[in-house]
Amino acid sequence: MHIAIIGNGISGITAARFIRKLSDHKITVISAETDHFFSRTALMYIYMGHMRYEDTKPYEDWFWEKNRIELKRGYVEQIDTKGKKLTFKAGDTLSYDKLILATGSKPNKFGWPGQDLKRVHGLYSYQDLEAMEKYSDGLKRAVVVGGGLIGLEMAEMFHSRHIPVTILVREKSYWNGVMPPEESEMINREIYRHKIDLQLSEELDEIIDNGQGEACAVVTKSGKRIECGFVGLTAGVSPNIKFLADTGIETKRGILVNEHLETSIPDVYAIGDCSEQREPKPGRRSVEAIWYTGRMMGETVAYNICGKSVAYDPGIWFNSAKFLDIEYQVYGDVRANQPEAHKMIYWEHPDGRKSIRIIYDEDQGHIVGFNLMGVRFRHEVCEKWIREKTNIEAVITNLGLANFDPEFYEKHEAEVVNIYNLQSEKKVSLKPERSWNKVFAFLKS
């Protein structure tokens, strides 16, 4: 059996690796982006000089041949799902028995005049990184459009080279559609602290052509003109599925799949950013452009293709990132505006750069979620508490189990307990700090 995989990101490569572990099937991985798999999340560190491109490749170049995974560089222009044949832009073809679509995401464009000019790019592909590098020499200012994680990464990249950068965010506060107000305001302060020009409630209206097909300025909807030599479009991403229009594969926002990651066409699967769950698990979105969910889908689809029926289950919602120098973690159900049934404990450090938010169901008393800024909690502990619907007082008294900050870091669990006691008018006590052996025993229980 020949299995073709379109896309060599984390989803496609994980699928290829696990199919090889489970079988001797012929595997071909196709990509128009790069010859070899690399860590997409490390793009910014290449630009910032922390890593070389070679350092972002988790496997040596000989790994693929040794494991009999064929790599093909090319752009798939057409898929014949009835004849099970791929046609490439160069005109050559490739037959398959089963097909995995792992085509990832593409930056959103909303029809802005000038959005297709030179010097206008997102931050998703290796080619985007090359464009940033190409246009950085002598660059006097960059403008980044969008208030998400990728936008701030791009701004940090330019800032690392002392290139002035302006971020346009149409919302009143950074990422306030995802973050509760206090954490959103903390991100604002962190951006200002780094002396990055954050312009809130400003929306892109037009990108100006310098007469040579290149961006030279942007104009906002308020009429403000900002001169710049590079425009970063980071207003979110969407599934990369446009080339599937005439294939008969059912799509909505992404490629619709069932719990076994099967599409509407037999022997065609979709995984990663380009896929959309027909029936997402409780607490999960139908489309999740997250690294670890892509990896999980890659492993799941491998089992299904190799004859072992496995349903995709990403578990409790989790994400992590960095807002410049502030680390961020979220576990479970944390929203910008919590429902009335959810009660919150919120502690913030006096320096305004650390916070712990714990959310629980007021009626049932069980834990719902954690939102952490500048503080690290153990993934396994938080997930166990949420999955088992642990009572809030059991969580509060054992909060030391969750702490994952390095030794000698200041601990803040006692302050969180004090806030809970003030809110609830109770006298809950924090249990003494736990050793790793006790944490391990708790996780095994």
Q: What is the mean pLDDT of residues 48-55?
A: 96
Report residue 433's pLDDT band, with 50, 70 and 90 as the boundaries: low
Asked whether residue 230 falls in the same domain as residue 242, the answer is: no
What is the arithmetic mean of pLDDT over 354-383?
Answer: 96
Average pLDDT, rounded, for the chain: 95
326 and 343 co-located in one domain: yes
Of the three residues 283, 305, 327, the one that is the final residue of a domain is 305
Same domain, 366 and 294: no
Integer angstrom CA distances of residue 312 from 11, 18, 293, 333, 395 = 13, 15, 10, 20, 29
Same domain, 229 and 168: yes
Residues 247 and 388 occupy one common structural domain: no
Residue 311 covered by a domain: no
How many residues are given for the chain?
A: 445
Q: What's the whole-number mean pLDDT along residues 25-50?
A: 96
Residue 438 or 105, more confident:
105
> Cα dist. 364→71, 359, 371, 427 in Å?
53, 12, 20, 19
**231 plus 242 within the same structural domain:** no
Say if residue 6 is in the same domain as residue 45. Answer: yes
Lowest model confidence (mean pLDDT) among 234-238, 292-296, 433-437, 440-444 = 433-437
Residue 226 Cα distances to 119, 120, 136, 142, 282, angstroms: 15, 14, 17, 9, 44
- Bridge partners, 140 (sequence order): none
Confidence band, pLDDT 50/70/90 cuts, at residue 278: very high
Domain's final residue, options 197, 214, 235: 235
Same domain, 227 and 259: no
Of 263, 385, 247, residue with least CA distance to 316: 385
Query: Residue 215's beta-bridge partner residues?
Result: 209
Regarding whether 243 and 228 lie in a shared domain, the answer is: no
Question: Does 381 fall in a domain?
Answer: yes
Residue 64 in any domain: the answer is yes
CATH of the domain at 179: 3.50.50.60
Residue 180 lies in a domain: yes
Least confident of 154-163, 367-376, 421-430: 421-430
Residue at 111 is within a domain:
no
Output the pLDDT for position 434. 64
Residues 210-268 pLDDT 10s: 999 999 999 999 999 999 999 999 998 999 999 998 899 999 999 999 999 999 999 99
The average pLDDT across 22-45 equals 96
- Domain count along the chain: 3
Instruction: Report in angstroms the alpha-carbon separations of 368 from 58, 97, 389.
Output: 35, 44, 7
Q: Is 317 exposed, middle or buried (0-12, 13-18, 19+ CB in 10 A)?
A: buried
Compute CA distances 102 → 50, 130, 269, 272, whole Å: 28, 22, 9, 6
Pairing of strands 230-233, 142-145: parallel
Same domain (yes/no): 386, 369: yes
How far, rounded to the nearest angstrom, does the alpha carbon of residue 131 sit from its chain's CA centroid? 22
**What token pair was written down for 383?**
């997930």
- pLDDT given for residue 438 in this prediction: 72
Beta bridge partners of 93: 87
Write the CATH number for 412.
3.30.390
Check: pTM over 0.85? Answer yes or no. Answer: yes
Q: What is the DSSP letter of 46?
A: H
Is 113 inside a domain boundary?
no
In degrees rounded to 5, what are phi and psi of residue 63? Answer: -60, -40
d(CA 44, CA 244): 30
The domain of 142 spans 120-235
* Same domain assignment for residues 159 and 226: yes
**Confidence band (pLDDT; 50, 70, 90) for 202?**
very high
Domain end residue (candidates: 305, 326, 360): 305
Looking at the fold, whether 426 and 359 belong to one and the same domain comes out as yes
pLDDT tens by residue, 391-431: 999 999 999 999 998 877 888 999 999 999 999 988 888 88
Residue 158 lies in a domain: yes
CB count in 10 Å sphere of residue 398: 19
Q: Is residue 310 part of a domain?
A: no
